[in-house]
Amino acid sequence: MAATASMSGGTTAAVDPPMDRRRLIAFFAMVFGMFMSILDIQIVSASLAEIQAGLGAGSDEIAWVQTSYLIAEVIMIPLSGTLARILSTRVLFATCAAGFTLSSALCATATNIDQMIVYRAIQGFIGGGMIPSVFAAAFTIFPPSKRPIVSPIIGLVATLAPTIGPTVGGYLSNAFSWHWLFLVNIIPGIIVTIVTWTFIDFDKPEASLWKKFDWWGLISMGVFLGSLEYVLEEGNNNDWFNDENIVIAAIAMTIGAVVFFWRAFKVDFPVVDLRAFADRNFSIGSLFSFVMGIGLYGLTYLYPLYLGRVRGYDALMIGETMFVSGLTMFFTAPIAGRLSAKLDPRVMMAIGFISFAAGTWIMTHVTADWDFNELLIPQILRGFGLMMCMVPINNIALGTLPPARIKNASGLFNLTRNLGGAVGLAIINTVLSQRTDDHYVRIAEHVNYGNPAALDWLNNVGGNYDSYGLDGASVAIKKLVGVVSQQAWILAFADVFLLLTFLFTGLIFLTVLIKKPKAAPPPDAAH
């Protein structure tokens, strides 16, 4: 209930009551918990080689350190809205924080790859429950006047955490060991658990809903989302539907999807309430969130891939280079917050998409010699664009929903971002593979014994190695193959960035179709 203050002329204006300090403490503890959960998606990405060596894992197994976390997290995120209603936000979040802390400790104690995959799946599933709760709390307990402050905070955390993940992971694995990628969560996790259990009082549990819980809906959702994530993550590595496991997963995904959607519209209390998509703003916001997931996770994958494969950077060097985007987001967040109170959200999104598209366009001119200086401006444009987009997208999607529906809707909203990342990575890897092969064939057609320049290069390089008593001709051919392969990959890399440029340029024009959001309902409606 808003208080009123007297104004000149006898009119009154609504004044927001002072925020409860307990709720503020609880909220910021929740934000930090969400930060840890999202950070752990990417914290291992730059240190997989170290983990592989430590566990004696094969090259085809080590990717599951990341994949198992993602699959489990994707299942939990939409489920969290229902669990929050049944258990209350306090019980759900504190339990998830405690479980995340314990599973982090288990990850650090893993002695083989099988244990690590199981522990990471547990960590991802439990950690996924913390993410939507923060979005729900932000739009439930804070009045609309505080949105310019709150939205940038959660937007910053949601985008900054995966961006600096490789930086944090690279530093920890280089300075200490890969075990500290997980041990670093323990002390903060304990603090978050205690604080959230003590201070969260946003809602009350509805234990009676357990009787209505749709277990078949849960199972089908798990099969659907888990299989979908598996197909997207492993499809390109296993030649898509030419692989038996991918085909089986695709069939399971289809059956799970049919049962899940049937149960979602059939039962009285579905495990995920899809009615939020009936709200135009929420649907559009979720669509943009999906696309931003492509940009967020796709570029967090592409930059380290380029720096490691082409430039030969180690985990720490990759992290130091990638830190630019995170730093830009940090400084852009307060700017985005102030602008969100003054600018039309559609204008903010257009500015963000223009910035993002400009950054990816610059990257289409990448060469084998690009270093920190050349990557500086694209990363700044990326960080600025992400923050300028995420704040209005969050407000459009969740800022106009009734408080009673926000818990469930926040789970769906976050799911779209994660699925966008999964779909984006699958598309990026597929395009990279196919375009690399195409470019290699085309370059190889011109680099042969009929090309005088190529012949001179082979003779010069071969002659140098002959002088050392080596088989110069063989060495020269191997080096030429390496040069052609590298150039083909760089051209494919540029093609991917061109594709992303077209994608974000198209989104600029889509912002015109968005209706300006109406005023948000009062947060007191939730109580």
For 363, half-sphere exposure in the C-beta direction (CA atoms, 13 angstrom radius) is: 31
* pTM attached to this predicted model: 0.74
Q: Is the pLDDT of residue 245 over 60?
A: yes
pLDDT over 90 for what percent of the chain? Answer: 4
Per the DSSP assignment, residues forming a β-bridge with 5 are: 13
* pLDDT above 90: residue 361: yes
Q: How confident is the model at residue 476 (pLDDT cuts 50, 70, 90)?
A: low
280-284 LR contacts (CB < 8 Å, sep 24+): 280/515, 281/396, 281/397, 281/399, 281/400, 281/514, 281/515, 281/517, 282/397, 282/398, 282/400, 282/401, 282/409, 282/413, 284/396, 284/397, 284/513, 284/514
Residue 427 C-alpha from the chain's centroid: 15
Looking at residue 320, its pLDDT comes to: 76
352 and 522 Cβ atoms separated by less than 8 Å: no
What does the DSSP assignment read for 138-206? Answer: HHHHS-GGGHHHHHHHHHHHHHHHHHHHHHHHHHHHHHS-TTHHHHTTHHHHHHHHHHHHHH--S----
Reported residue count of the chain is 527
Nearest C-alpha neighbor of 109 from the set 171, 183, 184: 183
Show the tokens assigned to 88.
């209350």
Contact 221, 260 (CB under 8 A): yes
What DSSP state is assigned to residue 513? G
Q: Given this model, what pLDDT does residue 470 score?
A: 56
| For residue 6, pLDDT beyond 60 | no
Each residue of 427-441: pLDDT tens digit? 887 788 888 888 888
**Domains parsed from the chain with CATH numbers:** 19-213 (1.20.1250.20), 217-270 (no CATH), 275-399+407-433+493-515 (1.20.1250.20), 436-492 (no CATH)
Which tens digit of pLDDT belongs to each residue from 305-314? 888 778 877 7
Query: What mean pLDDT, rounded, does the chain reach?
Result: 77
Q: What is the pLDDT of residues 145-170, one digit of tens each?
A: 776 777 777 777 777 777 777 777 77
- Measured at the CA of 276, the angle between CA 265 and CA 392, to 5 degrees, comes to 155
User: 62-78 in b/e burial notation, b at 16+ Cβ within 10 A?
Assistant: bebbbbbbbbbbbbbbb
Return the pLDDT at 14: 46
CA distances 118 to 68, 74, 121, Å, are 8, 16, 5
Give pLDDT, residue 461: 60
Which residue(s) pair with 12 in the sheet?
6
Average pLDDT over residues 59-71: 74
CA 189: distance to chain centroid? 21
Q: Which two tokens stand for residue 518?
A: 């109406």
* Structure tokens that stand for 345 in this block: 């959200």
Q: pLDDT tens digits for 263-312?
A: 777 777 777 777 777 777 788 888 888 888 888 778 877 887 888 778 87
Mean pLDDT, residues 1-8 taken together: 41
Residue 165: the pLDDT is 75
* Chain segment 319-353, per-residue pLDDT in tens: 777 778 878 888 888 888 788 778 888 888 888 88
